[in-house]
Amino acid sequence: MRIKFWNAAVFTVLGLILNIGYLQAQKLPSGPQVLTFFSDADDSEQPYGLYLPKNFDENKKYPLVIMLHGAGSNHRLDLRRVFGKSNAEGETDDEATRYFPQFDDVDFIVASPFARGTAGYQGIPEEDVYDVLDDVKKRFKIDENKTYLTGLSMGGGGTLWLGLTRPDIWAAIAPVCPAPPDGTFGLAANALNFPVHFFHGDADPVVPVADTRKWVQHLQDIGVEVSYKEFVDVKHDSWVSAYDNGFIFEWFGHAERNPYPDRVKFISRQYKYNKAFWVQFDKMDLTALAEIDANLNKPNAATITTKNLSAFTVNLKGHPKFNAASNVTFSIDGKALSAKTDSAVSFVKNNNVWAVASNPITTGLVKKKGAEGPIFEAFSSRHVYFYGTADNPSPEELKKRVDLATKAANWSDYRGEFLDRIMFFPRILADKQVRPSDMESSNLILFGTKETNAMIAKYADRLPMHLNPADKTHGLFYIFPVDKHYVAINSGLPWWTGAEDKGFPFVSAMHRKLPQFRDIMLFKDASTNVIVEGSFSDDWKVTDDMKTKLTGSGAITITK
Domain ranges within the chain, ordered by starting residue = 26-252, 263-356, 375-558
pLDDT of residue 415: 86
Confidence of residue 504 (pLDDT cuts 50, 70, 90): low
For residue 481, whether the previous peptide bond is cis, meaning omega lies within 30 degrees of 0, is: no
Question: d(Cα 303, Cα 358) in Å, to the nearest integer?
Answer: 21
Confidence of residue 328 (pLDDT cuts 50, 70, 90): very high
pLDDT of residue 166: 98
Range with lowest mean pLDDT among 151-165, 354-368, 479-493:
354-368
| Cβ 151 vs Cβ 180: under 8 Å | no
Q: Which residue has the higher pLDDT, 252 or 5?
A: 252
Q: How many other CB atoms sit within 10 Å of the CB of residue 460?
A: 14
pLDDT in tens, 18-74: 444 434 445 899 999 999 999 999 999 999 999 999 999 999 999 999 999 999 999
Numbers of helices and strands, H then E, in the chain: 12, 27
Percent of the chain with pLDDT over 70: 94
- Mean pLDDT to the nearest integer, 139-149: 98
Reply yes or no on whether the pLDDT at 422 is more than 70. yes
Question: d(Cα 61, Cα 108) in Å, to the nearest integer?
Answer: 10
pLDDT of residue 25: 42
Strand partners, 533: 521
pLDDT of residue 128: 98
Q: What is the mean pLDDT of the chain?
A: 93
- Mean pLDDT to the nearest integer, 352-373: 86
Residue 526: exposure state from Cβ atoms within 10 A (0-12, 13-18, ≥19): middle
pLDDT in tens, 304-319: 999 999 999 999 999 9
pLDDT in tens, 445-500: 999 999 999 999 999 999 999 999 999 999 999 999 999 899 999 999 999 999 87
Q: Is the dihedral of CA 426, 431, 435, 436 positive or negative?
A: positive
Cα first-last separation, the chain? 69
Q: Is the dihedral of CA 43, 47, 52, 56 positive or negative?
A: positive
Reply yes or no on whether the pLDDT at 8 is more than 70. no
- Mean pLDDT to the nearest integer, 405-434: 94
SS3 content of the chain, % helix, strand, coil (to 5): 25, 30, 45
Reply yes or no on whether the pLDDT at 12 is more than 70. no
Question: d(Cα 473, Cα 525) in Å, to the nearest integer?
Answer: 5
pLDDT in tens, 227-273: 999 999 999 999 999 999 999 999 999 999 999 999 999 999 999 99
pLDDT of residue 245: 92
pLDDT of residue 549: 94
Question: d(Cα 458, Cα 247) in Å, to the nearest integer?
Answer: 58
Q: What is the DSSP letter of 255?
A: -
pLDDT of residue 435: 92
How is domain 26-252 classified at the architecture level of CATH? 3-Layer(aba) Sandwich (3.40)
Reply yes or no on whether the pLDDT at 13 is more than 60. no
Q: How many other CB atoms sit within 10 Å of the CB of residue 457?
A: 17
Reply yes or no on whether the pLDDT at 557 is more than 70. yes
pLDDT of residue 507: 77
Phi and psi, residue 393, nearest 5°: -65, 155
Radius of gyration of the chain (CA): 26
